[in-house]
Structure 1
Amino acid sequence: MILAVLSGFIAAFLLTFLGKIFKGRLAVLLGLLPLSVFNYFLYFFPDISAGKTFSFSYKWIPSLGINLDFHLDGLSMLFVMLITGIGSLVYFYAAAYLQGHKYLDRFYAYLSLFMGSMLGLVLADNILLIFIFWELTSISSFFLIGFNNDQAESRKSALTALAVTGCGGFFLLAAFVLMGSATGTYSIESMLSVATALKASPEYGLILTFLFLGAFTKSAQFPFHFWLPGAMKAPTPISAYLHSATMVKAGIYLLARFTPLLGQHFYWNTTLMAVGGFTMLYAAFHSILRKDMKSILAYSTISALGILVFLLGIGTQHALVAAATFILVHALYKAGLFLVTGIVDHETGTRDIDKLGGLRRWFPFVALAGFLAALSNAGLPLTFGFIGKDLIYETTLHLGDTEKYLLTGIAVLSNIFLLYAGFSVGIRPFVGPIPESLVKRPHHSTLSPLLWLPAVLLGVLGVVFGLAPFIPDNLLIRHAADAIFNGTTALPLKIWHGFNLTLLLSAATLMSGVGLFFAFRPRALSSATQYWMAKVSPQGISEGIGQSTRSFATSYTRLFQNGYLRSYILTITVFLVGLIGYRFFTTVDLRVNTSSFTEIRFFEFVVFAITVAAIITTVFTKSRLTAIVSVSIIGYSICLIFVYYGAPDLAMTQFTIDTLTVVLFVLVLYRLPHFLNMSNRKMKLRDGLVAISFGSLISLITLQALISPANKEISRFYADNAYLLAKGKNVVNVILVDFRGADTMVEIMVLTIAALGVYSLLKLNVKPTDKD
């Protein structure tokens, strides 16, 4: 199992070094990778069909409760078959579609990385492991969406997708941490035994909020849907794989997997029904307003994802069986339509449905694939899509009277729009006469079977499964629905349910959708309407927030990160004075014990006077060299104080550091430009007040420390154990070398970095014109 999951990562790593081998005709061999994984999981089909499940565990970070725990059941098997099955077709398709591309090896490396991430996501039993693979899908999809990185729009789309899904991943991690804290485990199987307690937990509402944000962003639910149409800038094989069968369904998988654990609750059901229902109707309506084939498919995909969220929100047996069925239905026809779209674009140079027609004469097999996919999308009887749509209507019709009519109406209207969208992509480009603009355009008279065969195969499967629904039902659907329901769903798929209201609604959907297809043609919106819609759309609002954030960041940076060291020191000092001062004056009973003070002796007064004079000179001098000398005098005065009070070792250390610092400062001074006096009277007054405040605060803390009881426990520990544990009699040395070895090593690193900085400044060659 571990090899199957990691195979994509291994392939991506090997392609980094061996990619040149697979840039030519040998690229087709890479399709054997997902095909091999697909065949491996076929081995488990008999047992999964018998209702069994499999668990695999490999140690990883057991101290943190994170192991490579994988669980294979009906739900994960359904997604594994989509990831590897459709993945195999996309791998072969891409070998012909991107033939001769200079970055073909890079494409397959990204695709393999994504496939491994998706496999790990749907098979992981540990929620922290799910999060790791979840983020890997976001990162790998970022590379795939931005594959054409020489195009500004591709780069923007990739960044948008990464920003939206990455933000959702942050909230998903928060949800997982809360779930682990509430249940005491990170295993999904273990959590199922405490599902009731988790729903009663005070963090339940917060967990749902964070989980929904993660799932909705990944599966493009309103208002986070706008990244998906932009992601269509990616090459078509990527769109067919990520945006029909795999990545966008990661959020659906997450909701389905956690339905037994968090579902069947008012908050869960109501939220998913509302968000999913609105998304499916909103996106379906937008799909009929588009003319670009990939844009049409993008919005119809969003609508289909909304349908799945809607069904999971309803949560009845009918709904969960319908959801499991529609996952497979949608993957088959949508992947086929994407592949057809890619061929049309590849051969004609356009995806505008107004500029296409009659292509069945040039590409009969592609037309066949488009027809089959469009008919399954429409829900024509004897196709798998018909069974999927019937189950949706069966679900809504089994609800209460208040919800039944409203939700059924929304479902019917959405499916009418989706039928129109499917016909626009799968049928319209192939019927009618060939436009004059295409007649003169050169094209391949014969297509590689690697292009049209995957699309035809997906279309044929849609018909085969429609004629024999017991095949997908017994192999995948029933067991996936059982896993979501966490029980037995005795609702077998059938071709015919008799003459009933469900059949009437299906017929009405077909007739209305076909009528709309012949009667309606989308028109280009005026520039004013487009501008207004862009402003109020979720994408426009998000971009407006981003622009405001960027403006605030610019102003903030100009104020605090202005390039002057004195500004940084001032900011840090003010923050410390405010924070420490507030804590000190609100929690400490300030008392000063003057009786313990000793009289000031003459030599102490002299050293104090020298120090004060040196400080004044440092502050008010206009010469950098004089300032350095004055600072050194302050340091030497401190050395004398150490000597007077019996700390010669500290005095020698202080003396050495001060001397070295003065020498380095003088050497650096020679290379720096002239002294710049950019302070005015207000700035000097401000700096003086901050310095006095900071000094006064430190003095008060010191005076308070003199009367506070000292805790000798730590010092006694070091004194008692220095020789026993470290074999050293000098306690200070033992502390630095043994007890605080890591800290000392970090200090050495800091000094090394500082030395490198000084060396760089010494080597700095400043031009005479830069010294002014």
Structure 2
Amino acid sequence: MQRGTFLTFIVLLLPLLGAALAPLLTRWAGGKAGWLLAIVPSLVFLHFLGMLGMVSEGQPITGGFDWIPSLGVRFSWLLDGLSLTFALLISGIGTLILIYAGGYLDGHPQQGRFFSFILLFMGAMLGLVVSDSFLMLFVFWELTSITSFLLIGFDHEREASRRAALQALLVTGLGGLSLLAGLLVVTQATGFNDLSTLLGSGDALRSSPLYMAAFVLVLGGAFTKSAQFPFHFWLPNAMEAPTPVSAYLHSATMVKAGVYLLMRLNPVMGDTAAWETVLPLFGGTTLLVGTLLAVRQTDLKLMLAYTTVASLGLLVMLTGFGSELAVEAAVLYLIAHSLFKGALFMVAGLLDHETGTRDVTALGGLRKAMPITFAAALLAALSMGGLPLFFGFLAKEEIYAALGFGNGWAALATLVAVAGNSLMFAVAFAVALKPFIGAERKTPKQAHEGPVSLWLGPLVLALAGLLAGLASGWVHAGFSSPMASAVAGRAVEVTISTVPHIGMALLLSAVTVGLGIAAYLSLGTLRGGMAALLTTIGWGPDRGFDQFVRGMLHASVGVTRIVQNGRMDTYMTVTFVCVAAVLLVPMILFGEFPAVPVFPDLQLHEWAIILMAVIGIGAVVYAKSRLVAIVSLGIQGLAVALLFMLFGAPDLSFTQFMIETLSVVILALVMTRLRLALSDHRPLGQKLFDMSVAGLCGAGFGLLLLKVTQQPFNDALSQFFNAYSRTIAHGRNVVNVIIVDFRGFDTLGEIAVVMITGLAILALIRIRAKPDAGKAKEIGR
């Protein structure tokens, strides 16, 4: 492994190592643990920052090593403009989140567990965005779902937290299965199992007849992860998690995993009618639904959560729109959103931590008590509102330049974007202004500015949104252009600056600001109207999720009562029917019946053995008691043992003799100890059905064995065992060497099965019927 490859591998492992040490470090360092653990993501950030020069010049960095060489699976990574930007956002914001969490959860008895979970998530998300191998991508994709489940349900004593965690896990977990199926279809369609090769394959996937199947399955994974309508409901419910989780997972990182996947696959799956119709349709719907639900809320975190849903919809709509400007707009908005939304979430948590409430209607006049928090909130809101000098302004200008009014579809998308951005403007300033201006309100806790660990993160992210807008040329050269190039699949140069350009985009921005101010001033009316509308509608996807889970539980109980009814005869019948179907159905469907063999000329003793087997079968069928049937059943085994002996396999014959003798003895012993009817009382119809099933199983096995014996014999294994039994295993008896050495684990497994069976038989024999209460009293007297 080369030095650079080894170093990147170690860097990817750093968050996982930090997670292992977090509980111990927290017990040792106490309140300073957040600052110390922040060193881990800061080192990751610096490592990836060092790659910025090469990647910005258009040179992707790949690396890795063979993971499962026999299957062609590699642990490999791809670092281009898209994955590197995500890695820097994850590690950079992660550094601030760990510091913030140290202050937010200071004194919490489970703070060490929290740090461990969030570092595990950080490692999973880093692995996801840098993965090149499909398998590696899926493994980290599912790991983000598992770790987010742990974080959302961190306060596991509250029912709401447990429900939200389970809901997020089920929704994103089902989406993960859809993604796995999609990646398998992509591999089947193209023959590639890594992103770097797939991205260089041109139209291989788009021209495949499997494209539509891959498209639907991949969208299933992306839409559930990035909370697209109608799967949006899990993200606001996830606000039951502590605020550091909300600020990190559900604004800057995890919920953008679906958007990342769509952006990553845009060069090979985009530019089709399906892509450019479905993504804008669902993205636009999600944008409107998210913003309308946001104005309904009074909880600061829920207001921000629903605008996150809306922002993800906007990103999906832009990614699917297809044009180069739309790709640039999506890239700019993704970066801007990560900065301002992470800051605002931390502001919401800081207000809750210092005042004891997140209800925007119960807050006011905190500007003097919390001046730094107010400054951070205002700066972040200015970027979210898309006002000049901020990076959010560049994103909004590029959105309107990309959509425009070129045709009816573009005009509709533009109107949706204006409406959504206007409502997000109103929510942004509701969060940033209403708690701080106006008359001071009495809060559950005496309000005061939080410690540096709480206001550092939001202030840095808010200032970053301003500095990125002012230094847009440098940001475009290092981040925006390489990222847009990776999403578009060709070289793209982003040139937009903070200097307003007179045109349609600026006019639409002005309209957005005007509508946003009007919505902000009438927020109470809008909230009441949405509340009335939702009450009228009643049902929603969140309630539908509960109904779905209850329905699945009832269905599973019903199915269990049918297939697990406690009757051994039912289990045996189902098992043998399935065996017969597996053996015979493929032969019937594909015409794979064996050729009719020529009946050989048999000698007298061979006829005698066959006759003995037939007599044994008749004895089993016509036996009047179960004990006689068991003894008669051993006749077939003895006949087979005689055949082995006659055809030169005395060791197999001896083994068969032992098995049949022991089986008959043990079964007879068990039958005498269990309280079973001596004779078979099944009705005639049941006997005929069971006989048919047994006959079909026997026919299936017989036909399968005939088919196998009619295939050309491959003696490669025979030659191998003959050549190496003596030289490697030092044994002359090839059969014994195979059983003991070459198949030693098989033999061990068979011994374990026999042992478990013996223990089960012993347990059955030792069962004693308990006397009923009446008899017990009589005995006592």
> If the length of structure 2 is used for normalisation, what is the TM-score?
0.87
Matched, 1:433 2:432: no
Q: 1:456 to 1:83 in 2, by over 3 A?
A: same
Contact kept? 2:426, 2:516, Cα under 8 Å:
yes
- 1:620-656: per-residue Cα shift (whole Å, max 9, x none)? 75xxxxx457524532674377459956766754554
State the distance in 2 between where 1:564 and 1:525 align: 59
Q: 1:746 to 1:525 in 2, by over 3 A?
A: farther
- What aligned pairs does 1:77-92 form with structure 2 within 5 A after superposition? 77-92=84-99
Matched, 1:69 2:76: yes
Amino acid at match of 1:3: I
Matched, 1:112 2:115: no
Question: Residue 693 of structure 1 aligns with which residue?
Answer: 692
Matched, 1:34 2:41: yes
- 1:447-492: per-residue Cα shift (whole Å, max 9, x none)? 2111112112222222223333224223311221122223333331
Contact kept? 2:594, 2:706, Cα under 8 Å:
no
Question: Residue 484 of structure 2 aligns with which residue?
Answer: 481
- Structure 1 position 426, deviation (Å): 2.0
State the distance in 1 between where 2:24 and 2:310 align: 41
- Structure 1 position 429, deviation (Å): 1.8
- What aligned pairs does 1:586-735 form with structure 2 within 5 A after superposition? 587=591, 588=593, 612=618, 627=626, 630-635=629-634, 638-639=637-638, 642-643=641-642, 653-654=655-656, 656-657=658-659, 660-661=662-663, 674-675=675-676, 684-685=683-684, 687-697=686-696, 700=699, 710-711=709-710, 714=713, 723-727=722-726, 730=733, 732-735=735-738
Question: Residue 495 of structure 1 aligns with which residue?
Answer: 498
Question: Residue 273 of structure 2 aligns with which residue?
Answer: 266
Q: 1:763 to 1:355 in 2, by over 3 A?
A: farther
- Structure 1 position 304, deviation (Å): 0.4
Q: 1:381 to 1:529 in 2, by over 3 A?
A: closer
45-54 or 33-42, larger mean C-alpha shift: 45-54
Question: Residue 450 of structure 1 aligns with which residue?
Answer: 453
292-301 or 643-652, larger mean C-alpha shift: 643-652
Question: Residue 470 of structure 1 aligns with which residue?
Answer: 473
Amino acid at match of 1:118: M
Matched, 1:202 2:201: no
Q: 1:54 to 1:239 in 2, by over 3 A?
A: same
Instruction: Give SS of 2:454's match.
Output: helix
Instruction: Give SS of 2:435's match.
Output: helix
Amino acid at match of 2:104: Y
- What aligned pairs does 1:290-689 form with structure 2 within 5 A after superposition? 290-397=297-404, 400-436=406-442, 438=443, 441-443=444-446, 445-521=448-524, 523=527, 533=537, 535=539, 537-582=540-585, 587=591, 588=593, 612=618, 627=626, 630-635=629-634, 638-639=637-638, 642-643=641-642, 653-654=655-656, 656-657=658-659, 660-661=662-663, 674-675=675-676, 684-685=683-684, 687-689=686-688
- 1:492-531: per-residue Cα shift (whole Å, max 9, x none)? 1211233322222212211211111112315568999757
Contact kept? 2:739, 2:747, Cα under 8 Å:
yes
- 1:349-408: per-residue Cα shift (whole Å, max 9, x none)? 3322222222224322212222222222111222222222111111111x5232342221
State the distance in 1 between where 2:65 and 2:715 align: 45
Runs of at least 5 residues in structure 2 that lack an aligned partner in the other structure:
1-7, 777-781
Q: 1:230 to 1:609 in 2, by over 3 A?
A: same
State the distance in 1 between where 2:85 and 2:200 align: 24
Amino acid at match of 1:496: V
State the distance in 2 between where 1:329 and 1:205 align: 33
Contact kept? 1:591, 1:704, Cα under 8 Å:
no
- Structure 1 position 533, deviation (Å): 3.9
Question: Residue 779 of structure 2 aligns with which residue?
Answer: none
Amino acid at match of 2:374: A
Q: 1:383 to 1:670 in 2, by over 3 A?
A: farther
- 1:397-437: per-residue Cα shift (whole Å, max 9, x none)? 1x52323422211111011111122122222122222334x
- Structure 1 position 257, deviation (Å): 1.6
Number of equivalenced pairs: 757
- Structure 1 position 687, deviation (Å): 3.7
- Structure 1 position 164, deviation (Å): 1.5
Contact kept? 1:629, 1:662, Cα under 8 Å:
no
289-298 or 588-597, larger mean C-alpha shift: 588-597
756-765 or 7-16, larger mean C-alpha shift: 756-765
State the distance in 2 between where 1:475 and 1:594 align: 80
Between the two proteins, what is the percent identity of the paired residues?
A: 36
Alignment counterpart, residue 149 of structure 1, candidates 156, 159, 162: 156
Question: Residue 185 of structure 1 aligns with which residue?
Answer: 192
Question: Residue 747 of structure 2 aligns with which residue?
Answer: 744
State the distance in 1 between where 2:611 and 2:769 align: 44
- Structure 1 position 22, deviation (Å): 4.8
- 1:127-152: per-residue Cα shift (whole Å, max 9, x none)? 33222221221121111111111222
State the distance in 1 between where 2:578 and 2:29 align: 58
90-99 or 44-53, larger mean C-alpha shift: 44-53
Q: 1:19 to 1:684 in 2, by over 3 A?
A: farther
Q: 1:757 to 1:421 in 2, by over 3 A?
A: farther
Contact kept? 2:125, 2:254, Cα under 8 Å:
yes
Question: Residue 101 of structure 1 aligns with which residue?
Answer: 108
Q: 1:22 to 1:630 in 2, by over 3 A?
A: farther
State the distance in 2 between where 1:214 and 1:49 align: 30
Question: Residue 624 of structure 1 aligns with which residue?
Answer: none
> If the length of structure 1 is used for normalisation, what is the TM-score?
0.88
367-376 or 689-698, larger mean C-alpha shift: 689-698
State the distance in 2 between where 1:112 and 1:524 align: 41
Instruction: Give SS of 2:574's match.
Output: helix
Amino acid at match of 1:105: G
Instruction: Give SS of 1:425's match.
Output: helix
Contact kept? 1:590, 1:704, Cα under 8 Å:
no
- Structure 1 position 77, deviation (Å): 2.2
- Structure 1 position 700, deviation (Å): 4.9
Q: 1:56 to 1:259 in 2, by over 3 A?
A: same
State the distance in 2 between where 1:202 and 1:602 align: 61
- Structure 1 position 298, deviation (Å): 1.3
Q: 1:729 to 1:338 in 2, by over 3 A?
A: same
Q: 1:638 to 1:392 in 2, by over 3 A?
A: closer
